[in-house]
Each structure stands twice: as structure tokens, then as C-alpha cells.
Amino acid sequence: MNKRQLGKSNLYISEISLGCMSLGTDKEKAKSIIDRALDAGINYLDTADLYDFGRNEEIVGEAISGRREDLVIGTKVGNNFTAGQEGWTWDPSKEHIKEGVKESLVRLGTDYIDLYQLHGGTIDDPMDESIEAFEDLKKEGLIREYGISSIRPNVIREYVKKSNIVSVMSQYSALDRRPEEEILDLLHENNISVLARGPLGKGILSSNGVDVAGKKADDGYLTYSYEEILNIARKWQDLKNDRTPTAMALQYVLHHPAVATAVFGASSMRQLEDNLSFLEAAELNDEIYEQLQTLTQDIQYDKHR
């Protein structure tokens, strides 16, 4: 599988990668999905301390035992929670970040994290304090690089100016093209990579997209009405270009040079195999890319977001 450089770092990650949030808590099932993904050439696994209140990190840690050096592991911090209790609070403080990394390292069964990400963020956060914490962790060798996971352009712009982030994880798909309006070019100009999450638009752009749209989009999706989503899903399925609908969706987000990887989720082996159809597809050319763009409309950022 092709790999792309993460910002200006020495990390190179596979063009498609596994977001582990959807794996669930069945350890054996989750491990089989991770094993298949890694065998297919995926080398980046993305998790977070908040997923299943730490259990997801533990499952990922057990699954990668014995092959840690071949992988790039990303996790996230910023949500303060107590395992076994519902609810959490936002905490981007230096103290919490430096304590959180220790707990994640234990759960992952490793002595370093390749990519440590702030799991959210607001413009009112103590950003300098958060950045100082990440920089300290780099100096201590507990993390190799750091980034943020955010859909807020105002927050992203501040981190571009103030920090040494190598990546931004943000929702991006052919259905949600807001990053094209606000951040992709900015990040590319600053050698900061995008980890595109949700590249299948909640499954609407997958090979089972029409059924998914019928079940999950009865209230619409973003600014699209239910009827518009169904129409797009049907047209997406009908495009004949020797690619699965899922492969097209993954290739769409990877077409922009700022994007390092398309991070998909999989709760079953069937979903994983559908995403792996990307490996059999020819590279997306400009003509087909423009054809895909005509199926959707540009969506502006909500100014109050």
C-alpha cells in the first residue's frame, strides 16, 4: 500500500487507515478486523482514550503486540473521564494531557505514541498551555509527534500559527466538503497533513449507500434533505468507472495533496473488505474527480460552529 508523509515528520502512513472507534468491545472480533487490516498493508491505527472509556486502547494494544515497531499508532486526549462511569468533561490543561499520556501508554502496552492528538478544542482553550504539554512530551520521548482533531477552522488556524502540529484530523468527504472551503489549502501550504475521518459520509457513499441513506438519513444529512441524500446515493452507486462506490469515496478525499490518509471505521469484516476494495482501484484522475464533485454541493461552515 502507498504511504504518505505526515506533515514534515518522519512518519509515513498508509493512504487508508483504520479508525478503531467502531470496533466494539468484543476483543476477538476486533482483533480479527485489525489483523486483516494490517495484513492488507494498513499501518496506521487511530484510537482515543475516550473510546469505550479506555477499553478501545486496550484492545488495540493487545492486537498490535509483537509488531509495534511496524505500525504508526495515533490516540487522543482532552476528555476527562473515569472508567466505568458515564459522562466526561473537556480538559485541555497541561496537567491532564501529561497525565493522560501515561494512562494511554499503559492501555496500549507501549512506551511511546507516534501521534498524540488533542481530541477537540475551542477558541477559549488555554492553547499555549496545551501546546507546551505536547512539546514537553516530545522532548521526553513519550510521543513522536502531535496534532489536533477538530472541525473548527478558527481553532485550526490558531494551532497552525502557534504550534508544531503535523496533522489535523477532520471530517471530510464528498458529502461534507467544508474543509475544501476553509482549511485544506492552508494546511497544505504549511506542510500539515489532514487525516480525513468520515470519508464515506456515515456510509452513504459506501457500496451499501442507498440502504444506509434510507435508514440513517431520514432527517437529512448536514444541509442535505432526505430526498437529496437518496438521490446522491443512487447516482453515486450508478457511476460506472471500474471502482466500487467505497473506493471512489476514499479516493475522492485523497485527491487533495493535503490529505495523508482516509480514516475509515469498520464494525464487521464485511465493512473492512469493502474499504479494502480501494487497493484494487486505479488512481482517480481529474476527469472522474470533477464528475464526482458535480454530484454534491459545496457546504459552507456554520459561522456559529
Confirm whether 221 is a catalytic residue. Answer: no
- Per 3-state DSSP, the chain is made up of helix, strand and coil in percentages (nearest 5) of 45, 20, 40
Q: Is the pLDDT of residue 298 over 90?
A: no
Q: Is the pLDDT of residue 301 over 70?
A: no
Q: What is the pLDDT of residue 299?
A: 42
Once rounded to an integer, what is the mean pLDDT over residues 219-233? 88
Query: Could you tell me if 179 and 168 are in contact, meaning their C-beta atoms sit under 8 angstroms apart?
Result: no
Confidence of residue 297 (pLDDT cuts 50, 70, 90): low
Query: Could you tell me if 135 and 164 are in contact, meaning their C-beta atoms sit under 8 angstroms apart?
Result: yes
Mean pLDDT score of the chain, rounded to an integer? 92
Q: Is the pLDDT of residue 241 over 60?
A: yes
Lowest mean pLDDT across 136-145, 206-215, 256-265: 206-215
- Rounded distance, CA 123 to CA 175, Å? 26
Percent of the chain whose predicted confidence (pLDDT) is above 90: 80
> Hunting for cell 472508567 — which residue is that?
83
Residue 16 — φ and ψ, nearest 5°?
-120, 145
Helix (H, G, I), strand (E, B) or coil at 117: strand
Q: What is the pLDDT of residue 267?
A: 95
Q: Is the pLDDT of residue 112 over 50?
A: yes
Q: Catalytic pick from 44, 51, 172, 252? A: 51
Lowest mean pLDDT across 38-47, 140-149, 229-238: 229-238
Q: Is the pLDDT of residue 141 over 80?
A: yes
Name the nearest CA neighbour of 116 among 146, 149, 80: 146
